[in-house]
Amino acid sequence: MGVDGDPSQWSVEKFGPDLARDLRARIPKALQRAVELAQSAREASALATDHAFGPTRWKQQYESLHEQLRELPDVQDVHPPGAQVRVTICRNHLLLPWMYAKRRGLDMRRVRGRLKNHLVRDLLILFGPAPGYDEPTLPGMPATPDEARDRTLLRAAIEALTPQPRTLLVGFACNSDEGLLGVSWGEAALAPGGGLDWGPVEELFRLA
């Protein structure tokens, strides 16, 4: 499984050639496993909807990622306060799984709208790169939900790690019928309005 070719210069600079190559192979396998477990949960539920698929996939995208990567060098995990999942850290990068689409052929950089995953959004706000454009706040304007959200415990938990990790989005597309459709990873800042301001991106897997 995976996209043919060597790791990009961007990923080699982050992880080194050997680890970057391992991650390119293992991350899609981890997400494939997460989606397969979610498909099995839907089948076992005997429901025609994705009520069992969605929650199982969300939990397993974190767990399967850690299970697949934990034997690699420089891998650890952190359990953010209040979260139901643990986040995998590899060579000082928080690997943040994010399902961006339910159909194949969509570049995750073209996804529009607000990022809905609260944990990923919080971590991008606290530890992600700065957006290329900062929307000015007008005097007297009420705080947005993102501005008003209390992230004190989350900030303290991540800042306690040495060195302090950076964020890296692991985006994937899937659905309960076809399974895993595509995987990419890249750097993104949370832009005003809750969308993503993209930096480097690398494709890891694409369903033929």
CA angle 138, 131, 69 (to 5 degrees): 140
Per-residue pLDDT tens over the stretch 19-58: 999 999 999 999 999 999 999 999 999 998 999 999 999 9
Q: At what angle do helices 118-127 and 152-159 cross, to 10 degrees?
A: 60
Residues 151 and 126 sit within 8 Å (Cβ to Cβ): yes
- Is residue 3 situated within a structural domain? no
Q: Which residues of the chain have pLDDT under 70?
A: 1-4, 133-148
Residue 135 has a pLDDT of: 54
Residue 14 has a pLDDT of: 97
- Is residue 75 situated within a structural domain? yes
Burial of 63 (0-12, 13-18, 19+ CB in 10 A): middle
- Is residue 55 situated within a structural domain? yes
Quote the domain boundaries for residue 82: 9-132+142-206
Dihedrals phi, psi of 49, to nearest 5 degrees: -100, 180
- Is residue 4 situated within a structural domain? no
Residues 115 and 98 sit within 8 Å (Cβ to Cβ): yes
Residue 113 has a pLDDT of: 87
- Is residue 32 situated within a structural domain? yes
What is the secondary structure of 91-118 as a DSSP string?
A: TTEEEEEEEEESSTT--GGG--S----H
- What six digits make up the tokens of 21? 């190559």
Residue 139 has a pLDDT of: 56
Structural domains counted in the chain: 1
* Sign of the four-CA dihedral 20, 21, 23, 24: positive
- Any idea which residue has 């076809």 for tokens? 178
- Return the closest-CA partner of residue 124 out of 57, 191, 60: 191
User: pTM score, two decimals?
Assistant: 0.91
Residue 68 has a pLDDT of: 98
Q: At what angle do helices 17-45 and 53-69 cross, to 10 degrees?
A: 150
- Return the closest-CA partner of residue 100 out of 128, 142, 61, 130: 61
- Is residue 101 situated within a structural domain? yes
- Is residue 188 situated within a structural domain? yes
Per the omega criterion (within 30 degrees of 0), is the bond before 163 cis?
yes
Residue 138 has a pLDDT of: 46
- Is residue 1 situated within a structural domain? no
